[in-house]
Chain A
Amino acid sequence: KNEVEQSPQNLTAQEGEFITINCSYSVGISALHWLQQHPGGGIVSLFMLSSGKKKHGRLIATINIQEKHSSLHITASHPRDSAVYICAVLNSGGSNYKLTFGKGTLLTVNP
Chain B
Amino acid sequence: EAQVTQNPRYLITVTGKKLTVTCSQNMNHEYMSWYRQDPGLGLRQIYYSMNVEVTDKGDVPEGYKVSRKEKRNFPLILESPSPNQTSLYFCASSPSSPSYEQYFGPGTRLTVT
Residues of A in contact with B (beta carbons under 8 Å apart): 30-31, 33, 35, 41-45, 48, 50, 86, 88, 90, 95-104
Contact = CB atoms under 8 A, between A and B. Distances in A.
Contacts of B98: 31, 33, 90, 97-99
B99 A101 contact: no
Can you list the 3 inter-chain pairs with the closest CB atoms, starting with the nearest? A103-B42, A43-B104, A101-B43
A44 B92 CA distance: 10
A61 B44 CA distance: 23
Nearest to A88: B43
**Interface residues on chain B, size class:** 20 to 34
B62 interface: no
Main secondary structure of the interface of A (DSSP, over half): strand
B89 to A, nearest CB: 10
Given A97-B48, A98-B45, A99-B45, A44 B104 contact: yes
A33 B102 contact: yes
